[in-house]
């Protein structure tokens, strides 16, 4: 365990799950038979997904179907969690999100997370900053922390037929040609040949919609990077540190559409993912992406992200994930959602609101920080059990069967008419 902290995240609960796994889905077993339990007194929450509840029905026709299928009463263990995630087969409706543009994500935690995600068979996104910070790992000796080191750690662990690695690229690292490198690299070939390589176009991110990547660099790096990035000395001359700012990139409907088509043209054997920020026109952008052939659209809610961002953005910019999901209602393709997901209830709510799978970002990072060998595996084990319990309680036995009817919100979960491509909501 390192000095990694996540003060704005349920860090202690995630660490507990990383240590004890599925047992953390329940109150302490030592209290069984002695303590009285019940719903906790309602705590006001600003998060609409947290405030929403999953609402099992009394009548459960899909359970009857399952009962007929099994010739016995179904249980939560009969829930099938396997699904297709952005063109990959995944045993769980989960994927590993890219870790943010911080030194946090650059440490060996990335490699530990890669190996565990691979063993779990869930898709994994590798962040756009890995190459500029840790190198390719081909001639530059970046070793396991490099991009190719992360890919290799995943590929060594992943079982046949499941999972996939998705490599992110943003406007600035078009210069580094990350996708071209991976697509032509021998070490990525087994994934490519088995249809398990993808590329994610990073249009934006949850923590700072409208801004590009921000990292704090030391003085030496500031000089080196000043040719490519804006470097601002906001921390004072004596701090020895500076702020490196990347641009968010300029997008219009046509730019997004054509970038996706070019990805499909240039990398015909790779899956194409698009990561959107929680912008007010997120539904239009998602529709453009699917129409242009994206295999998945990832929406990062404003509560997402592990990276460095101005506090004004963390507290007051961007749509919450719940509102993103509401605006995209009835997605025309594979929708992936991320933003503060770490346990089954929030994951199930996202799935009910239209997402095909949910991304683990900070939760995964904390889990591997707690235990680099099995922390993520245990966290996912607990989350999977919760998903099975919740989905079966809703009288359903496939993740794709969840619908907004399974959700109740104090403010309602009204679904607006879907915005047509070419219009801007908000």
Partner 1 sequence: MDTTSAADAATPRPATTLPGSPREHLSSPTTRAVLRLQHTVLDAAREHLGGAGFTELLPPIIGPVTDPGARGAKQVDVDYYGHRYKLMTSAILYKQASLTAFDRIFCIAPNVRLEPLETSSTSRHLAEFHQIDVEIAHASRDDAMAVAEGLVAHVLRRVVERSAGELEVLGRDPDAFADLLSGEPFERRTHTAAVADLHGLGHDQNPDAEIDWAGEAVLSAKSSRPFFLTDYPKGSRGFYDKENPARPGRLLNFDLLAPEGYGELCSGSEREHEYGTIIARMRETGENPAKYGWYLEMVRAGIPGSAGFGIGLERLTRYIAGLESVWQASAYPKVPGVVSP
Interaction site with partner 1 (CB under 8 A): 169, 171-172, 174-175, 177, 179-181, 183-184, 186, 189, 192, 201, 228, 249-252, 254-255, 257-269, 292-293
Tokens 């595996």: give the residue. Answer: 377
CB contact at 8 A, 170 and 127: no
Q: Which is nearer to partner 1, 174 or 401 (CB)?
A: 174
- Name the residue nearer to partner 1 (CB basis): 96 or 167: 167
Nearer to partner 1, 140 or 232 (CB): 140
Give the nearest distance from C-beta 361 to partner 1 in angstroms.
24
CB 177, min distance to partner 1, A: 6
d(CA 296, CA 356): 9
Contact 319, 281 (CB under 8 A): no
Tokens in use for 101?
């543009």
The residue among 4 and 174 lying less far from partner 1, judged by its C-beta, is 174
- The nearest distance, CB 248 to partner 1, in angstroms, is 12
Q: State in angstroms the smallest separation of the CB of 301 from partner 1.
A: 25
Nearer to partner 1 among residue 45 and residue 180 (C-beta): 180
To partner 1, the closest distance from the beta carbon of 172 in angstroms equals 6
CB-wise, 105 or 260, nearer to partner 1?
Answer: 260
CB of 261 to partner 1, least distance (A): 3
Q: Which residues contact 52 (CB under 8 A, 6 or more apart)?
A: 322, 349, 407, 408, 409, 410, 413
CA gap 287, 273 in Å, rounded: 13
- Of 192 and 289, the one with the shorter C-beta distance to partner 1 is 192
Q: CB of 81: closest distance to partner 1 in angstroms?
A: 31
Q: Are the C-beta atoms of 49 and 350 separated by less than 8 Å?
A: yes
- CA-based nearest residue to 117, from 81, 142, 92, 136: 92
Nearer to partner 1 among residue 64 and residue 262 (C-beta): 262
Provide the minimum distance between the beta carbon of 85 and partner 1 in the complex, in angstroms, as a whole number.
22
Name residue 215's beta-bridge partners: 244
CB nearer to partner 1: pick between 134 and 259:
259
CB 229, min distance to partner 1, A:
10
For residue 101, the minimal CB distance to partner 1 (Å) is: 17
Token pair belonging to 307: 């990276």
CB of 292 to partner 1, least distance (A): 8
Of the candidates 177, 198, 189, 176, the one whose C-alpha atom is nearest the C-alpha of residue 268 is 198
Of 172 and 369, which has the nearer Cβ to partner 1?
Answer: 172
CA 254 to chain centre: 26
| Tokens found for residue 228 | 């490519």
Q: Tell me whether residue 292 or residue 365 sits nearer to partner 1 (CB atom).
A: 292
């Amino acid at each position: 365990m390192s000095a990694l902290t996540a003060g704005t995240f349920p860090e202690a609960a995630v660490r507990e799950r990383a240590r004890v796994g599925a047992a953390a889905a329940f109150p302490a077993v030592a209290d069984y038979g002695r303590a009285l339990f019940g719903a906790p007194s309602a705590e006001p929450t600003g998060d609409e997904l947290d405030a929403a509840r999953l609402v099992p029905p009394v009548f459960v026709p899909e359970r009857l179907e399952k009962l007929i299928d099994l010739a016995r009463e179904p249980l939560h263990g009969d829930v099938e969690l396997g699904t297709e995630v952005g063109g990959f087969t995944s045993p769980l409706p989960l994927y590993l999100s890219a870790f943010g543009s911080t030194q946090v994500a650059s440490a060996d935690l990335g490699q530990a997370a890669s190996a565990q995600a691979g063993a779990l068979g869930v898709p994994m996104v590798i962040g756009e900053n890995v190459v500029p910070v840790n190198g390719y790992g081909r001639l530059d000796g970046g070793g396991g922390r490099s991009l190719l080191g992360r890919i290799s750690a995943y590929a060594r662990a992943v079982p046949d037929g499941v999972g996939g690695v998705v490599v992110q690229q943003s406007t600035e690292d078009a210069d580094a040609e990350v996708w071209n490198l991976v697509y032509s690299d021998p070490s990525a070939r087994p994934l490519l040949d088995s249809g398990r390589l993808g590329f994610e176009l990073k249009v934006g991110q949850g923590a700072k919609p409208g801004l590009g990547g921000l990292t704090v660099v030391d003085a030496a790096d500031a000089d080196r990077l000043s040719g490519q990035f804006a470097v601002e000395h906001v921390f004072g001359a004596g701090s020895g540190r500076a702020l490196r700012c990347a641009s968010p990139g300029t997008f219009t409907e046509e730019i997004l559409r054509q970038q996706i088509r070019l990805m499909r043209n240039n990398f015909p054997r790779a899956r194409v993912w698009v990561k959107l920020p929680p912008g007010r026109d997120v539904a239009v952008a998602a529709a453009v992406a699917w129409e242009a052939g994206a295999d998945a659209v990832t929406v990062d809610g404003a509560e997402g992200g592990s990276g460095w961002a101005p506090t004004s953005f963390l507290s007051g910019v961007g749509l919450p994930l719940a509102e993103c999901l509401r605006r995209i209602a009835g997605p025309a393709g594979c929708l992936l959602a991320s933003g503060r997901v770490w346990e089954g209830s929030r994951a199930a709510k996202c799935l009910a609101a239209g997402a095909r799978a949910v991304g683990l970002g900070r939760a995964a990072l904390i889990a591997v920080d707690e235990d680099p060998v099995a922390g993520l595996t245990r966290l996912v084990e607990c989350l999977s059990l919760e998903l099975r319990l919740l989905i079966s309680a809703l009288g359903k036995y496939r993740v794709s069967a969840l619908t907004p009817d399974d959700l109740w919100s104090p403010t309602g979960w009204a679904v607006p008419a879907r915005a047509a491509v070419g219009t801007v909501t908000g």
